[in-house]
Amino acid sequence: MVQLKFDANGLIPAVVQDATTRQVLMVGYMNREALRRTLTTGQAWFWSRSRGELWHKGATSGHYLHVRAVHVDCDGDVLLVEAEPAGPTCHTGAVSCFFRPLDEATRATLLAALDDEAASPAPPSAEPPTLDGRTVEALFAVIQQRQRERPDGSYVVRLLEGGVDRIAKKVGEEATEVVIAAKNGAPAEITWEVADLWFHTLVLLAASGLTPADIWRELERRRR
């Protein structure tokens, strides 16, 4: 008998693969009801973690996933769904959600960012962090430190060495991601993308010889 292991939130990851081409199309999460509907209707259902509700893939776009088979891994904690997609699977219009390869440049950037995070772990604290303007100032102070000391492997340093053109390009890319997240109506995705946008904007300020205080003053002027 198949034993499924749902996580503490009652969810199990489901990898969706094109039944014909074998291309991996997406990864979603199913709860028991989503899995039940998937098995009984023959179309893929998921649990949306950002919206907190059941999600019938394709109900809005018409790009349904017609399920041909469901497999369970050896540990019972991951599902593999073979499906025939009725159109592109990704919300961007791409055939698969996995269309961004980690090429050499991207791998280097990602590794540098991971190194930065590992080198600056958040200090343990019994009190929750104070999330306000001081958080922005603290983050900007770290960016300025990277700007002064230029440590090897720092993602911030790589951005700064690329000049304003490279940083501005990243700001533009992140702004586009925010727009896409907003149009998707996905709060968690919006939060993540806006954080990326703010971070890269702070790097742009540092590269331009400005600080968050300059922005606070302008906002204060507009408030008046």
Domains of the chain, by residue range, sit at 12-85, 104-223
Mean pLDDT by 10 residues, the chain (224 residues): 88 96 95 96 93 90 95 95 94 86 70 66 55 74 90 88 94 92 87 90 95 89 82
Give pTM, 2 decimals.
Answer: 0.53
Architecture of the domain defined by 104-223: Orthogonal Bundle (1.10)
Average pLDDT, the chain: 87
Please determine, looking at this structure, whether the domain spanning 12-85 carries the CATH number 3.90.800.10: no
Q: What pLDDT digit, counting tens, does each position of 60-76 carry?
A: 889 999 999 999 999 99
Is residue 4 within 8 A of residue 72, CB to CB? The reply is yes
